[in-house]
Amino acid sequence: MDIRQVEAFRAVARAGGFSRAARVLRVGQPSVTRSVARLEGALGFQLFSRGQGAARLTPEGEAFLREVEHSFSGLERLRAAAQDIRSFGTGRLRLACAPALSGRFMADALRRFMDRHPAVTVSLQVRPSSTVHEWVASRQVDLGIATPRTGFSAVEDEPLLRLTGVLLVTRGHRLARLRRPITPADLVDEPFLALAQNEGARHAAEAAFRSAGVEPRVRVETANSATLCALAAAGLGVALVNPLVAEDHGGLPILAKRFVPDVAFDYRLLKLRGEVANRLAEEFGTMLRGMVTSLGHGSGTMSHVQV
């Protein structure tokens, strides 16, 4: 099988005829006909129904075309990557981020970065923290931002951001009227909307309840903080989230109340261990560290948080 034969077959299938394919390829029709015939001989089955009029794919030809298109899409990605590498000052940055930081925080980071590099293409994938770790370990992304995970020895992580959690309540909730921080004792028998059990903040929240002798009445648990905001706004319960997520959902009918004792939400910057980061990834990581410094390390004392 020769790649030129495959290209001729693809051109005929796309153009709907041998003559039109020859014009697209800028070769003579006999050359296209020979290439397709040789490909059929190599494959051992007919690709087109021979006859008058347009070239019609056989069922086997249709199945083969699907595989050809899949392969050619891979080649197009390789060509695009080569162009990025070839062009000075341009490139591709591949990022994966946990949902909790994928709102305004990430949007602000990308705005700052792309102002400096307007020709750079950024691929941003928003995935659960465990998936972010997996993708960094398997080189599917250059950098990841996620909550801590164990069992990923190939991933090097550094502390990036620690945020103090806030408690979400509906505007008409009895706790909304309190002029002091909410405590675990205030949540006895209160429906609680919790993060998934593999999240560090979930363990920190449970420790806070346990130290106060309170058993939270977990009604719903989910890995997505944005979902917690929507559920809290629907009146299904109260939820502890990081203040950036609360800020992202400030349009919902919810209030972010201070909660004591503090419940920490930790996020890490991930890269492949022992790997020299590419220039774009290194610069984006440096910029993120600067942003975190300007945030005051996520003290949780933002203007929308009510005491």
The radius of gyration computed from the CA coordinates of the chain, to the nearest angstrom, equals 28
User: Residue 215 pLDDT > 80, yes or no?
Assistant: yes
pLDDT tens digits, 243-289: 999 999 989 999 999 999 999 999 999 999 987 778 899 999 999 99
Confidence category of residue 304, pLDDT binned at 50, 70, 90: very low
pLDDT tens digits, 38-88: 999 999 999 998 766 678 899 999 999 999 988 888 877 777 767 666 654
Residue 4 token pair: 């030129």
| Structural domains present in the chain | 3-86 (1.10.10.10), 92-162+266-298 (3.40.190.10), 163-264 (3.40.190.10)
The proportion of the chain whose per-residue pLDDT surpasses 90, expressed as a percent, equals 73
Confidence category of residue 303, pLDDT binned at 50, 70, 90: very low
Rounded-to-integer distance, Cα 96 and Cα 152, Å: 16
Place of tokens 């990557």: 81
Rounded-to-integer distance, Cα 194 and Cα 42, Å: 60
Average pLDDT of the residues of the chain? 89
Rounded-to-integer distance, Cα 297 and Cα 169, Å: 25
The beta strand positions in 185-289, using DSSP E, are 191-195, 217-222, 238-241, 254-258, 264-272
Do residues 49 and 56 touch, judged by C-beta distance below 8 A? yes
Residue 96 host element (H or E): strand 92-97
Closest CA to 306 of 261, 253, 258: 258
Residue 167 host element (H or E): strand 166-170
Rounded-to-integer distance, Cα 202 and Cα 209, Å: 11
Left (φ > 0), alpha (ψ -120 to 50) or beta: where does 151 sit? Answer: left
User: Residue 236 pLDDT > 70, yes or no?
Assistant: yes
pLDDT tens digits, 87-120: 544 578 999 999 999 999 999 999 999 999 888 8
Rounded-to-integer distance, Cα 45 and Cα 182, Å: 73
The CA-CA-CA angle for residues 158, 133, 166, to 5°, reads: 65
Residue 88 token pair: 């000075």
The CA-CA-CA angle for residues 292, 294, 296, to 5°, reads: 75
List b or e across 181-191, with b for residues whose CB sees 16 or more CB atoms inside 10 angstroms. bbbbebbeebb
Phi/psi at 277 (nearest 5 deg)?
-65, 145
